[in-house]
Amino acid sequence: MKEALLKILNLPLPLKAILASSAFFGFICDHILDITMTYNEQFLSVGFVVLLDGFFGILAGIKREGFKTYKALKVLRNVFIWWLILFVILSIETSFKVSWLSETIVLPFMVFQIISALKNASMAGFIKMELLNEILDKIDNHKGKRNVD
């Protein structure tokens, strides 16, 4: 064991840097893999919600103004941004042993994404406007009925 350690210490500096950086990146990749596999349901849920909103948004956009490639690519960008946000939050949760952070931060935004998907589905013609209004009215029915003219 001591001889192996001495061999590593006697390596040239560039090889030591490569060895140290590969060990560091290996640790980072293992941490990313551990978080994503432990909480894979949350990553899948976030991805599905954002993709659903993006799918109906693209269809509504095609109906309105034709297909726009940059808007379609924004859907993929949004998925990766939300996955990155979720990863950072889950990393903080596991580091500090708290379990409420992801539900408090991510869940409200996912509800808004679902409402946005419903609106986009309505604009694309998959849901009738009356049904969408009925769904949205049932979200906060404690406010009373709204008058639609």
* Residue whose pair of structure tokens reads 């859907």 in the numeric block: 75
Output the pLDDT for position 46. 96
CB 36 within 8 A of CB 87: yes
Highest mean pLDDT among 5-14, 21-30, 127-136 belongs to 21-30
Do you know the residue count of the chain? Answer: 149
Output the pLDDT for position 1. 73
pLDDT tens-digit map of 12-22:
888 888 988 99
pLDDT tens-digit map of 24-64:
999 999 999 999 999 999 999 999 999 999 999 999 888 88
pLDDT band at 141 (very low <50, low <70, confident <90, very high): low
Instruction: Give the distance between the most distant pair of CA atoms in the chain.
Output: 86
Output the pLDDT for position 143. 61
How distant is the alpha carbon of residue 146 from its chain centre? 34
Q: Exposed (0-12), middle (13-18) or buried (19+): which is 50, by Cβ within 10 Å?
A: buried
Lowest mean per-residue pLDDT among 1-15, 46-60, 74-88, 114-128: 1-15
